[in-house]
Amino acid sequence: MSLKRTSRAVYEGKYHLVWCPKYRKKIFVGEIRPRVKELFEEIASHFDFEIDRCEVCEDHVHILISFPPRYSVARVVGVLKSISESQEEALGGHFWEQGYFYRTVGEQVTDNVIRKYKEYHSFSQDQLKMFE
């Protein structure tokens, strides 16, 4: 994934998302596993999300995803869960747990890189006096 553009933003944001079916049932077995992955890919293409990786385990889903800044994490998870739930008859309604896990993911810009950048570019009080 690289820098993306919309009409008003340039962005690069990756998120690791995880959620489970209700009661963490081991339901993703056999032919349903690739179908769930297909559904997520179809939904992602419709909403301008970019799925880097999608792993459907027996009792939960992992997705590494990027999406435009007009969407919140909660909105993206809601879209993926609600549409996949309604599109697949085998899944039925109220299939997913309400909760989810998310984490931002960075490749090159880590929190240490940002700290060092801020330290390097911070002004001391003496430096500010030269403008008086």
Confidence of residue 60 (pLDDT cuts 50, 70, 90): very high
Between 54 and 119, residue with greater pLDDT: 54
Smallest CA-to-CA distance from 53 within 16, 20, 28, 27 is with 16
Smallest CA-to-CA distance from 4 within 71, 73, 63, 69 is with 69
Give the pLDDT score at 61. 94
CA–CA gap between residue 44 and residue 23 (Å, rounded): 26
Does 3.40.630.10 match the CATH number of domain 4-106? no
Confidence of residue 105 (pLDDT cuts 50, 70, 90): confident
Give the pLDDT score at 12. 85
Instruction: Name the most confidently modeled range: 65-79, 94-108, 115-129.
Output: 65-79
pTM above 0.85, yes or no: no
